[in-house]
Structure 1
Amino acid sequence: MSRRQVAQVPGVAVVGLGGTIAMAQAGNGGVIPSLSAEDLVAAVPGLAGLGVDLAVSSFRSQPGTSLTVEDIIELADVLHQQFTDGAVGAVITQGTDTIEETAYLLDLLNATEAPIVVTGAMRNPTLAGADGPANLLAAVTVAASPHARGLGCLVVLADEIHAAARVRKSHTMSPSTFISPNGGPLGYVVEGYVRLVNRPAHRYRPPAPNRDQPVPRVGLYTATLGDDGGLLPALASHLDGLVIAAFGAGHVPQQWVANIEEIAGRIPVVFASRTGSGFTATDTYGFPGSESDLIARGLIPAGILDPYKARLLLQILLTTTDSRESLRTALAAATDDLGTKTR
């Protein structure tokens, strides 16, 4: 690890994982992760003027698609040590393909008040208008800001600040690809200042994962028109848990229900909406395969979590419990969906 002394306050760890932000031209004509975290920091105009003491290191050098859950758990341990040593925040640079997942996993694993800010780039450094330097500058600004404390893990690109539990990648190539369908961005970086316009109602912190067992294998299966669900039993036979990306508010074809009920009797099964925004329903519809029918058959609603985040949460929870009631309570707490009604 190298240390770049800029000023006395505050201290931010910058950790590189690779991705588009760190790519350079390869012999085959494409770009590959080649630049170190130190290279990225050195290329950012205005970074020295922030008055932030940076501890810079490279943790991985690969596309975001090749990162694993185990990588992120190990990274969380590295960051915890950085916070113990006095860092007030951390910035992670990585590929954008998996930012919405790695950020949420880091959010679940961060037991401190120190913010973790994940950033990247949509245009690699060889292109005109590369966005990596501006994104890294904004990310360090947010990580060093006292306004970000207690917000958990954040995603910062295009000067927008997103909560890890909300953010989604919405476009294959646009620099403004990241959006938060449920609630919008938490704020913006404006003229070098962090401007928050809303805060999450709560932040869920699950029990620390049990490191003495392998990460549970949790599958994700998407409901599609005309699928009879015949492949589900074979898929589920190799899994410790399953997430269904269901239609609409949490619906699957009627042909699925027998298979799903049998699977839910063996392993935890969570259903989320494949739409990517809004809550799963719990008691609106009553037909076979509807949300109320699935709950009656032992499935667990994901609340406001999209299928990708629900899968990660289930993986972490399954390291400590497979109790359906405990999992149901945890999913409700994670999404602030505690079932309170005023009517």
Structure 2
Amino acid sequence: MAEARRRVAVFSLGGTIAMTAQPTGGVTPTLSAGDLVAAVPGLAETGIAVEVHDFRQLPGASLSFADLLDLAGEFDHLAVDGVVVTQGTDTIEETSYLLDLVHSGEMPIVVTGAMRNASMAGADGPANVLAAVRVAASAEARGLGAVVVFGEEVHAARWVRKTHATSPTAFTSYPGPVGYVAEDRVRIWSRPSGEPGILPERRNGNVRTAVAPVGLGDDGAVLRAVGAAVDGLVVAAFGAGHVPMACVDALTELAERMPVILASRTGAGPVLTETYGFPGSESDLLARGLISAGTLGPVKARILLQILLMRGAEQHEIAERFARIL
């Protein structure tokens, strides 16, 4: 009886989950939030009341910071127990983390989508929506912040990554899912440490940030070129935070005039602080003013940097915020 009184709002942003085949070829977003919900077998039997909102109709790759901050603003006006956001999978690892950063309160925010569009055999959208609605309505998910539900696994927004271009099991996370859905039950076994939210008001919508990966033989020229066009930079470094020696001068110069975040491009594990001491090592770069991303990968580090810069944060405030990340 308790579950029958739960209410969930479903916001559709477009993406593969909302796409159908077109006579001219290819698939494009055409399905509304109502269409998506109506296509979910067994949803009515859950007893969960679902309200639908058509918020955007875009491919995931075309969503913007403005779109997501506007969406987050909608949540404050809802009288529901949880929210489900359906969107394209290209940017789920970024949008879910953005929503996690700006969301406050106990209400679960669940992001999902599909790897197979509705025109394909074995489309995964309906199953993902059903699992997402169950998680959003559950008492177990309260206080988790934003999560990604895919393939009946629950991933923390801070850790989730898209690791395959086409597989229905494309979403993984390290150290692993924080829960799963089985036999109609939501089971949560792990909770990320909470971080203070960032107020979502936009001070400066013209902030530009970028991720610049380093590669074998880099000499710093590309870093300088990218740095000339942005207000903040994330360096996707080798291993535990290392770059070629030839890049050190460029990064030193950039860190003198903008926040430069040092992240690992490996996909898991922290940027170290004092293990290596050669020019271009993590300790050398941090001593030159770069800011450690901790365990955040480059993509998510850019999301945090962008939001902080949009809010007008100074360099020391940015460093303090990144220092809180475990």
Q: TM-score range by the shorter chain?
A: over 0.9
Q: In the alignment, what sits opposite 2:19?
A: 23
Residue among 178, 188, 196 paired with 1:196: 188
CA distance in 1, matches of 2:216, 2:229: 25
Find 1:155's aligned residue among 148, 159, 178: 148
Hey, what's the Cα distance between the residues in 1 that align with 2:110 and 2:134? 10
Flag structure 1 segments of 5+ consecutive residues without an equivalent: 1-6, 337-343
Alignment of 1:82-231 (within 5 A): 82=78, 86-181=79-174, 183-200=175-192, 202-231=193-222
Whole-angstrom CA distance in 1 between matches of 2:315 and 2:303: 17
Aligned-partner SS, 2:166: coil
Poorly superposed stretches of 4+, deviation over 6 Å: none
Within 2, Cα distance between the matches of 1:20 and 1:58?
15
Q: C-alpha deviations, 1:58-115, integer Å up to 9, x for none?
A: 1111110111111100110012222xxx211100000111100000000001112101
Aligned-partner Cα distance in 1 for 2:139–2:246: 52
- Supply the distance in 1 between the matched residues of 2:257 and 2:59 (Cα, whole angstroms): 35
Distance 1:126 1:71 in 2: 27
- Aligned to 2:66, what secondary structure does the other structure show? helix
Q: Which residue identity does 2:70 align to in structure 1?
A: E
1:318 CA drift (Å):
1.6
Secondary structure class of the residue paired with 1:78: helix
User: In the alignment, is residue 54 of structure 1 matched against residue 50 of structure 2?
Assistant: yes
Pick one of 241, 252, 256 that aligns with 2:247. Answer: 256
Tell me how far apart the structure 1 counterparts of residues 245 and 159 of structure 2 sit (CA, whole Å). Answer: 30
1:160 and 1:235 map into 2 onto residues whose CA distance is 37
Q: Secondary structure at the match of 2:149?
A: strand
Deviation at 1:210, TM superposition (A): 4.3
8 A contact 2:7–2:80 mirrored in 1: yes
Rounded to whole Å, the distance in 1 between the matches of 2:213 and 2:277 is 21
Alignment pair present for 1:331 and 2:322? yes
Aligned to 2:265: 274
1:128 Cα offset (Å): 0.9
CA contact (8 A) 2:16 2:88 kept: yes
- Deviation of 1:207 after TM superposition, in Å, equals 3.2
Q: Which amino acid in structure 2 is aligned with residue 301 of structure 1?
A: S
Give the distance between the partners of 2:271 and 2:206, measured in 1 at CA: 26
Shift of the alpha carbon at 1:322? 4.1
Q: 1:312 and 1:215 mapped to 2: Cα distance?
A: 14
Kindly tell me: are residues 174 and 54 of structure 1, through their superposed partners in 2, closer, same or farther at Cα, counting changes over 3 Å? Answer: same
One-letter code of the match for 1:120? G
Query: Mean alpha-carbon deviation: is it higher for 219-228 or for 317-326?
Result: 317-326
Q: Distance in 2 between matches of 1:172 and 1:211?
A: 32
Q: Verify: 1:317 aligned to 2:317, yes or no.
A: no
Identity within the alignment, %: 55
The alpha carbon displacement at 1:321 in A equals: 4.2
Task: For residues 109-136 of structure 1, give each alpha carbon's deviation from its aligned partner in whole angstroms, at most 9, with x where no partner exists.
Answer: 1112101000001111111111100000
Give the partner amino acid of 1:312.
I
Report if the CA contact (8 A) 1:252-1:290 is conserved.
yes
Tell me what 2:280 maps to: 289
CA distance in 2, matches of 1:229, 1:210: 35
Q: How many residues align?
A: 324
CA RMSD in angstroms comes to 1.3
Checking the alignment, whether the CA contact within 8 Å between 2:203 and 2:312 is kept in structure 1 is no
TM-score, structure 1 length as denominator?
0.92
One-letter code of the match for 2:305? L
Q: How far does residue 213 in structure 1 lie from its aligned partner after superposition?
A: 2.1
Alignment partner of 2:224 out of 217, 229, 233: 233
Question: Do the aligned partners of 2:234 and 2:261 also contact (CA within 8 Å) in 1?
Answer: yes
Contact 2:252 2:288 in 1 (8 A): yes
Letter paired with 1:124: N
Partner of 1:76: 72
